[in-house]
Structure 1
Amino acid sequence: MKKRWGWLIALAAIWGLGGGSIVSQASDTAVSDDLPASFALNGIFNTTSKIPNVTNNATLVTNNHGLQLTSGATSQNGAAWATSDNKFDLSKNGRFSMWLYFGKNGASNSGQGMAFVMQNAGATGFTAFPSAAKPAGQSLGVWGVDYDNTATDAKAVAASAIQKSWALEFDEQVNNNRDGGNNSGLDYNYPYEDEQHVASNYPGETTSYARNGTQSSGNKYYYRLIHQGAFVTTLSDGAWHHVTLDWTAPTGTSDTGTMTYTLGDKNPTTGASQTPTNTKTVSVDLTKLGINATDSTKQVYWGFTGTSTTLTANNVVAFEHIPGLVNASSAVTVTDQSTGKTISDGDTVNGNDALAYTYKLNYDGGNQTWQNIEAQLPRPAGVTFSAGTITYADGSTETLSSSELNSSTLAHTLGKNLSTANASATITLTGQANAVTSQTSVASTIGHFNGSNEISSVTTPSYTIFPARQWILAVSSGSTMTAQPGQSVKVTGSVAVDSSADDETVTNKDVTMHASLDNGYTIDDFTLNGSSSDPDEEGVFNLTIPADKLVTGVNKLTLYTTDDRGNKSKEVSVTITVTGTLAFKNVNPKSSFVTTRLAGTSTLIGRNADWDVSVTNARGKGSEWSVTAQASDFTDPDTATKLAGEAVWVDASGNTSSLTQAQVIASGTNTAASQTTNIVDDWGNAGGIMLKTNSDAISGDYQGTITWTLSNTLN
């Protein structure tokens, strides 16, 4: 937007460019040759709206993927507005993601520039400039024009701008002329008034402009634009510039939202996200757009305007995302299936590891379904895919062909559109990391999902493939071992790397031993710990299994190792058999009942203190046992008189059972590898084995035999 001080100087500058010709951009092919991923804009914009006094030069180019505001010709004006179906709802958060191209003529010879505009004045709009002889020029088609050097205030300037609007300018020419009335001073007194820049404000508000000069001066009055949220940047350098606009809607009863505009946040060649060159956030007062918090609708028209004068620019916009059209998202996850690890930037995998690349596409809503989605997924170097499927939310699937999987870039158009009824597609590629012989870097790749109305992209992580280590695990203490109950067991062995894998030095701390028992007890993982005599001995381990983690009988121990990169050895098994005995520790050969005077009634006679029956179970924790007792008749050896009565068993509930038949009187389950139980201790005075006499029993000295039987199971 810069005009020279005088015609002689301007002419000299033009001739200095060679031959006296106006700079032309007829050979500017970057728009078509280097167009980043974008979608066709059919039906999105109205490019045929009238501009007073001149032709509207806005048009769709490059198979309708580019919205061109001005071309390489001189004195052009362009305006394109979203249709009524594609208005922007300021009551909701929204994001514009787009690429802008400003030509290649450099700051000193470029056109005026272009502007992104939100407005509530009508379906079309452009600066109301007086005539073709007095062009819109520095206004970019949205700001007011300044051709009256006698205007004492900015009312006329603001009135000629697009009303009820907010604009973000991409200003390629700096207009800092102090000649009042020539419409070329909007950038005067801007802090960086000699550089291309980006800035915003309300074109139809008088407060957006400030008066300069005096009525008594030769040039009289001229007006400058108040640049809000401004930053300096290079625009007309022949490169595409990515711009993201993030709108945060007002909340509650507020009339004010915010717009964050970010420049240069994607690489124009790869499409990869990068650190932005500039970003600013400004407040946007909706009342200046004629909208109040209480309004039932807050939709506005939006679009682009642009201008050029004698200096030209090829100003083009291409879109990845337009809010409300299709709201979609995508993500990628890389999983090392051999180790179960999700791969992030900087991680490592091993050669031959099974890998899965999972791309997830989600449709989150919008005015249209996400249509004709072509997946373009570069195959990561060092990875070979063997299978690929696409699974939709509705359960249907597609299988990717081997030719697609083996190409340098997998290109596949999804068979279904994504919509509310079928809101996701998951692309799963499975394969292997190559069997490398040296460390191999796998660079991140950019995957694109190019729909006809939405563009999305993902970046895979970068990682390193290491040569696979082949671990050999050997147990030196033997594959079969025996132990007595209560005895711990020591397992020893060694691990080594097959020398054909690589020549890296691996230390004990890099190798983890995993041990498990099949009896339900757990053993903590540990790093290689050397031998008993030398804890620092490399490649050696020793493992002591406590007795309380072994059960009587066969215990299977399984061992394997993993290293710091997830390489795993084959499993090795050790069988540990715990032996032991089950026996009566003591049975008093003579025990007696309390001497009792008979009273002619049935009587239960208790025991004296000389009863002792104990069991030792050394068969390990969890082993079971039981004892039964059976009694003979009681008789008086002197008279051979049989006792009118019998020995009985009285359980803990007071139930009485005759011991003429064997009765279970005790049982147990070991809580330790070996333990002894005195079964009499639990009987008490009112229970256990007792002598029952009938009412007709006669006095005598009676004797009988009790047979004790010990079993190794619960009865």
Structure 2
Amino acid sequence: MSLSLGLIGIGGSVSANTATDAAADYVKAISVAPDALTLDHIFQTGTGGGSANHSSVISLNKDNKVVDESSSAATKAIVKLTDSNDQLGSEWSMPANTFNINKDSKTNMWMYFGNQFDSGDGMAFVLQNDIRGTGAISGVGQSLGVWGIDNGGTRAEIAKTAINNAWALEFDTYDNNDTGKGTSYDNTSDVKGTNHIAYGYPSSADTYGLKFGFGFLKFYAVMNHQGVIKTSHLSNAAWHHVTLDYKTLSATQGSMTYTIDDKDPTTGLALTGQSQTAQIDKSRFTADGKNGDGTDIMWGFTGSTGSKYENNLIMFEQISNLVSAAGVQKVTDSTNNNQDVTNNGNVMSGDQLNFQTTLTYKEGKQDWKKIKAVLNVPTNVTLNEAATIKYADGTVDNFNTNTAKNGVITKELSKDLSTANNTATISMTGTANTVTADTKAMSPISHFNGNNAIVESNAANFTISVPNQTLSITGLNDQNINLGDSASFDALVKTDRDIKPQNIGEVTSVVDNTTKGKPEYIELSKTGSHHKETIPASQLTVGKHTYTVTVVDNYQHTASKTAMITVTDPGKLSLTVISALNFGTEKKPLPIPNVLTDFNPNEKLNVQLEASLPGTWNLAITASELVGADQSILKDALIYKASAKDAGTSLNNSSLSILSGTSSRDKINKVWDKDTGILLHIKPSTVKGQTYHATIKWTLSNVPLK
């Protein structure tokens, strides 16, 4: 299977960004660094590349100031791969943080590619089982530290210089589209001239292609990009959110869905982003047979620069299988039988509400440590002061909602979450504010920032209403039917809230000002109840009819919906022809053998047709060749004559119009006289003593009025 990525490489011109520019950009980047993990004992700096390897892990405090990694003030960390020209960088997972290819996982991260629109070269996410371990590395420039190095060799020779037993996803910020060795990986139509993301197997010869360059027998290498996402400039002084969602599909196959820019770096709100899915062959991780079974493999990042360079930075929100956790918020209306109103529900002024967020530790290689809850206060709700956090082991933390500042309550959990103590349920209660009209309310997304996992809850949206309900009827659409058909309707009647214990609606229907039958009584709910009805054809004449459904509840709230039924008589198009034309078995007296002679069928040709569809009509015929039992052919043997004096027109595979007219309710019967219609036109001497047959096709068509 041929896989690849386009990479970025060593630029041929003088670099536009200076060391001073890069340093200033780095300061700016960390000043706006998003929330992230601390990366304590998670990554190790690669040993490959010697002095060219400049990667490191930088720890920050809550104010985004650099602190020592061991400092208790460290709240997040940045992986820095490169920050100057002609550098390599690699960071690899620690032994306790391997990637299990037979287990689903998701990794969320922020990536930064510098502040120049013409920078280089980018970085790559790498899954690898290279026997060199942390020493696995390739070259600078377009090789990105992971892909093979193009020194003018063959595809296989290039592949040997890459990281072995690996799959890589590149983030390419430089367009290497030259026509010489070492600078041409992006000289392909799918990525040329763009920043892009793509994937491939670095040590597979199929990842690379060779093209002729200038000069005698000179080649240069390109890459066969897979799963390309073309992006606007990645190096735009902004953090880009990236989600890597891995699924194990079978013993031999996995998939990786990668999405970029799926979260706003300023607001943290979810965005659609751009996404692709790669199919991963698990056997590639043991392709050389040198490093175990390839189940738990090393993962990390490589990056490189050439004469163009940038700050290549990474921060993590969630790391594959390190900690798998979730936060789910649920809002219920305690006054209304604990009705769940989380997803666009409805409450009334004064209802007592419960806001409950459950944090769940699912699994992981580490406990979820030092969790800080950042809770956003609901809108249009007055919270009670007392709130609690209850753990799975029965322990309860109490906190006061009055500690909120600028609409945010910050509370650090007293316990880590783990397999033994896997949930923490945060509960706050409050009262829906008094409103004079329907008012939107929201319990926003809350954040739960641990040292090794960051989780967001869902938001809850609901409406606070005055004590009433609004009825609605959907599903009634205008219908166009033919005369003789019935009309069927399915009206869905809904209300905007569930009233207990009973909420009954009376449904009536009217056709053309005449009430149909007795009312139907249905239960009103937010999910809705169906009122189904069929109007029989006997009540629907040609023309327009109105059908109206009305519902009234116990409180005299009402809703009505009308649909139009349009009945038309479309007319008819039909054709009946004689089933077969029989030209007999002999002819007396015998005609002149070599003279073309016309023979009439034994029975007169006749058709009956009806063409009452509006417009004009046309009857046409065509015929196949006359074929004998021995497959011999009598060419052009069937002709058509409108009159006995006509020369006749061959019907061989040529459609011939023989009758036409305008729409009419009258049926037409047409009979052709002797020596007219379809005739057999042959030289008797060409006929053998056998059966002959041909197929005649009749086509009655209609051209509607404009």
Question: Offset at 1:219?
Answer: 8.0
Offset at residue 438 of structure 1 (A): 4.2
- The answer to whether structure 1 residue 93 and structure 2 residue 91 are counterparts is no
Amino acid paired to 2:245: D
SS of structure 2 residue aligned to 1:362 = strand
When residues 295 and 318 of structure 1 are mapped into structure 2, their CA distance, relative to the original with a 3 A threshold, is same
The residue that corresponds to 1:701 in the other structure is: none
* Separation in 2, partners of 1:166, 1:438: 57
Query: Residue in 1 aligned with 2:356?
Result: 358
Shift of residue 38 of structure 1? 1.3
Take 1:511 and 1:287, find their aligned partners in 2: how far apart are those partners?
Answer: 56
Does residue 132 of structure 2 align to residue 102 of structure 1? no
> 1:282-681 residue pairs with structure 2 within 5 A?
282-290=279-287, 298-339=295-336, 340-386=338-384, 387-404=386-403, 408-443=407-442, 445-467=444-466, 525-527=503-505
Match of 1:62 in 2: 60
Q: Distance in 1 between matches of 2:499 and 2:95?
A: 68
Task: Say whether the 8 Å CA contact 1:346–1:464 is kept in structure 2.
Answer: yes
C-alpha contact (below 8 Å) 2:83/2:311 kept by paired residues? yes
TM-superposed CA distance for 1:224, in Å, is: 0.8
- C-alpha distance in structure 2 between counterparts of 1:73 and 1:29, whole Å: 14
Q: 1:449, CA displacement in angstroms? A: 0.8
SS at match of 2:50: coil
Contact persistence 2:327–2:458 (CA under 8 A): no
Q: 1:176: how far off?
A: 0.7
Cα gap change, 1:27 to 1:248, in 2 (>3 Å): closer
- The answer on whether the counterparts of 2:25 and 2:114 sit within 8 Å (CA) in structure 1 is no
Partner of 1:120: 129
Alignment partner for residue 142 of structure 2, among 125, 138, 143?
138
- Give 1:396 deviation, angstroms: 1.4
Please tell me the residue identity of whatever aligns with 1:431: G
In the aligned structure 2, how far is the partner of 1:30 from the partner of 1:563? 63
Q: Deviations over 1:100-127 (max 9, x none)?
A: 1112212x2x220000001111321343
The answer on whether the counterparts of 2:121 and 2:174 sit within 8 Å (CA) in structure 1 is: yes
Query: What is the Cα deviation at residue 207 of structure 1?
Result: 1.3
How many angstroms apart in 2 are the aligned matches of 1:564 and 1:44? 62
Shift of 1:53: 4.9
1:192 corresponds in structure 2 to 191
Amino acid at match of 2:100: D
Q: Using the TM superposition, give the Cα deviation of residue 163 of structure 1 relative to its aligned residue in structure 2, in angstroms.
A: 1.0
Q: Aligned partners of 1:407 and 1:435: how far apart in 2?
A: 22
- Structure 1 residues 282 and 67, CA gap change in structure 2 (3 angstroms): farther
Give the Cα–Cα distance (whole angstroms) in 1 for the partners of residues 499 and 457 of structure 2: 38
Question: RMSD of aligned C-alpha atoms?
Answer: 3.5
In structure 1, how many angstroms separate the alpha carbons of the residues matched to 2:313 and 2:393? 39
Matched residue SS, 1:422: coil
Aligned to 2:621: none
Change (3 A) 1:127 1:367: closer
Q: 1:395 to 1:3 in 2, by over 3 A?
A: closer
Distance 1:433 1:113, change over 3 A: same
Deviates more, 1:197-206 or 1:219-228: 219-228
After superposition, the Cα gap between the structure-2 partners of 1:425 and 1:510, relative to the gap in structure 1 and judged at 3 Å, is closer
Deviation at 1:511, TM superposition (A): 11
Query: Structure 2: how far apart are the matches of 1:512 and 1:280?
Result: 42
- In structure 2, what is the Cα distance between the partners aligned to 1:204 and 1:432? 62
Normalised by the length of structure 1, the TM-score is 0.60
Distance 2:317 2:296 in 1: 21
Cα offset for 1:563? 9.7
1:263 and 2:260 aligned: yes
Deviations 1:161-186 (A, max 9, x none): 11111110000111011023xx1111
- Report the Cα offset of residue 197 of structure 1: 0.3
Q: Which amino acid aligns with 1:241?
A: H
Q: Does 1:156 find its partner at 2:167?
A: no
Q: Is the counterpart of residue 217 in structure 1 residue 252 in structure 2? A: no
Is the aligned partner of 1:172 residue 2:173?
A: yes
SS in 1 for 2:347: strand
For residues 381-401 of structure 1, give each alpha carbon's deviation from its aligned partner in whole angstroms, at most 9, with x where no partner exists.
212210311111111111112
The verdict on how the C-alpha distance between 1:165 and 1:280 changes in structure 2, with shifts beyond 3 A counting, is: same
Q: CA deviation at 1:469?
A: 6.4
Letter in structure 1 aligned against 2:360: N
- Classify the secondary structure of the residue corresponding to 2:379: coil
Q: In structure 2, list runs of 5 or more residues that go unmatched.
A: 1-6, 62-68, 70-75, 470-494, 508-552, 559-706
Structure 2 match to 1:628: none
Give the superposition deviation at 1:307.
Answer: 1.1
Pairwise CA distance, 1:283: 2.8
Q: Distance in 1 between matches of 2:498 and 2:441?
A: 27
1:233 CA drift (Å): 1.1
The alignment partner of 2:146 has SS state of coil
Distance in 2 (alpha carbons) for counterparts of 1:422 and 1:511: 38
Contact 2:53 2:90 (8 Å CA) reproduced: no
Q: CA deviation at 1:155?
A: 2.2
> Matches of 2:418 and 2:451 in 1, distance apart?
14
Cα distance, 1:338 vs. partner?
1.9
Q: After TM superposition, list the pairs within 5 Å mapping 1:217-256 onto structure 2.
A: 217=215, 220-234=218-232, 235-251=234-250, 254-256=251-253
SS at match of 2:366: coil
Flag the 1:101–1:374 CA change in 2: closer, same or farther, 3 A: same
> Aligned in 2, Cα 1:42/1:199: closer, same or farther, shift over 3 Å?
same
* 2:55 corresponds to 1:79: no
Query: Per-residue deviation at 1:245?
Result: 1.4
Name the structure where strand makes up a greater proportion of residues.
2
| Counterpart residue number, 2:43 | 45
8 A contact 1:513–1:561 mirrored in 2: no
Q: Secondary structure at the match of 1:356?
A: strand
**How far apart in 2 are the matches of 1:117 and 1:285?**
14
> Cα 1:280–1:162, aligned 2, differ >3 Å: closer, same or farther?
same
- Deviations along 1:189-236, whole A, 9 cap, x unmatched? 14131000001111111111111116x725811101111111101322
Q: Take 1:22 and 1:402, find their aligned partners in 2: how far apart are those partners?
A: 47
Assess if the C-alpha contact under 8 Å between 1:113 and 1:172 holds in 2. Answer: yes
Task: Determine helix, strand or coil for the equivalent of 2:402.
Answer: helix
Decide which structure has the larger Cα Rg and report it: 1
Contact kept in structure 2, 1:5 and 1:177, CA below 8 Å: no
Contact 1:144-1:204 at 8 Å conserved across structures: yes
Aligned to 1:124, the other structure's residue is in SS state helix
Change in CA separation of 1:347 and 1:33 when aligned onto 2, cut-off 3 Å: farther
1:54–1:407 Cα change, 3 Å: closer
Secondary structure at 1:24 match in 2: helix
Q: Residues 332 and 226 of structure 1: is their aligned pair in 2 closer, same or farther, counting only changes over 3 Å?
A: same
1:3 to 1:49, Cα distance in 2 relative to 1, 3 A: closer
Whether the aligned pair in 1 keeps the contact of 2:187 and 2:222 (CA below 8 Å) is: yes
Contact 1:241 1:264 in 2 (8 A): yes
